[in-house]
Amino acid sequence: MAKVTVVGAGNVGATCAHSLLRLKLADVVLIDIDEGLTKGKALDLSQAGVIEGFTDKITGGSDYRASADSDVVVVTAGLPRRPGMSREELLDKNARIICEVIQRSLDTSPEATIIVLTNPLDLMAYLAYRVSGLDAQRVIGMGGVLDTARFKRFIASEVGVNPADVEAMVIGAHSDSMVPLASLAKVDGKALTSLISPDARVFQKERTKGGGAEIVSHLKQGSAFYAPGAAAAHMVGAILLGDKRITPASVFAGGAYGIDGLYIGLPVTLDLSGVLEIVELQLSPVEQEALLSSAKEIEAGLTALGRWFS
């Protein structure tokens, strides 16, 4: 039986743990500085298993020794941006958290593949890679699966079909500069460009970019957690099952798509070794330009991270 540790027992972490158990992918360890929170949620989830029919083990605590020999470590720990907090303050606080979590996780699970959800995601994934000492293929950021789910949902609603009938993908930064690939999107095998107007396509792309903010505007307090948690579990499944499905994820580009030296959302295949391959898709000229622009945005943020790994 595989073993997955989820660090951070907030809404996203707990939802990820629940999704993993429902998918019957692995035994799960929930780690958080608030030990009571993890123990309570682990006990609650174990009781849900009686009703929902999952039998994999879940435990909770604050001691990383319980996570020893995990195959995958999912990092959801981190602070959201609060009113009055600058982006620089958020980055600094979450960088500190990432450095500690990565070090403590690898002390007990040195062979694990790391999935990072902490924001700003592409920068935190890069930081995790630099401080971990791992090969880049074993450190992955979760962003594209979530953004793609939103894009598919909005397309399906526009066209009036089941999201399962939609083929679509979002790449680029996990931010407002993400790149929904409308040129490659299909509905029941038909090109999206033949089904809805250019204005409708632009609207769906822009709604996707603001998908997280739209949820926050309704909630008033807090942010999305069901879809992010499910997206992280989906990535764990792609790794553990090794079915080589194409999955958008924040990875070290290494020259792909004309981008190097940073983490950014690209289509990849995953297996137990982490990133198996970056898949080169045929983008439209506009999409390629947008992807490069998105990379420049990420690159501009790398300077602020320098003191954490220099």
Nearest by Cα to 102 from 80, 123, 74, 79: 74
Rounded to whole angstroms, how far apart are CA atoms 46 and 63? Answer: 19
DSSP-derived secondary structure letter, 111: T
Query: Is residue 174 annotated as a catalytic residue, yes or no?
Result: yes
DSSP string, 175-238: STT-EE-GGG-EETTEEGGGTS-HHHHHHHHHHHHTHHHHHHHHHSSS---HHHHHHHHHHHHH
Q: Is the dihedral of CA 232, 234, 239, 244 positive or negative?
A: negative
Alpha carbon separation from 277 to 165, 251, 267 (Å, rounded): 26, 10, 9
DSSP code, position 239: H
| Neighbouring residues of 61: CB distance < 8 A, sequence distance ≥ 6 | 29, 30, 31, 35, 38, 39
Of 18, 174, 218, 234, which is the active-site residue? 174
Residues 145 and 228 sit within 8 Å (Cβ to Cβ): no
Q: Which two tokens stand for residue 170?
A: 């979002």
One-letter amino acid identity for 71? D
> Hey, which residues are catalytic here?
174
